[in-house]
Amino acid sequence: NAGVTQTPKFQVLKTGQSMTLQCAQDMNHNSMYWYRQDPGMGLRLIYYSASEGTTDKGEVPNGYNVSRLNKREFSLRLESAAPSQTSVYFCASSEYTRVGSNQPQHFGDGTRLSIL
């Protein structure tokens, strides 16, 4: 029962470095999401992919890019890391149908990213 798997779990970067956070789900969900969670700010949506082949910006997309590689995988890339991007990043997936089903999201355990 893997669910949503995120790699790596921890990472330290220097300002200006780039990196890609990986996310994979094994529940055959068609929607996937990237969030960041900062103290007192709750979960803020960075990008999401309602279905394979589509991606849309969320609340805080600046400084990030995403790739929906296939139905299972959704990656988040930081091209030039900045200290303001220090955060915990969560990937999630959910089922989505055009009749607007009320299916919940399932989350990974996060990537803790520090940028010095």
Partner 1 sequence: EDQVTQSPEALRLQEGESSSLNCSYTVSGLRGLFWYRQDPGKGPEFLFTLYSAGEEKEKERLKATLTKKESFLHITAPKPEDSATYLCAGKDNFNKFYFGSGTKLNVKP
Interface residue list for partner 1 (CB under 8 A): 4, 31, 33, 35, 40-45, 48, 50, 58, 90, 92, 94, 96, 100-110
Contact (CB, 8 A) for 111 and 8 = yes
In this structure, is the dihedral angle defined by the CA atoms of residues 95, 47, 18 and 41, taken in order, positive or negative? negative
**14 or 28, CB closer to partner 1?**
28
Shortest approach of partner 1 to residue 96 CB, angstroms? 4
**15 or 54, CB closer to partner 1?**
54
What is the bridge-based pairing of β-strands 74-78 and 19-25?
A: antiparallel
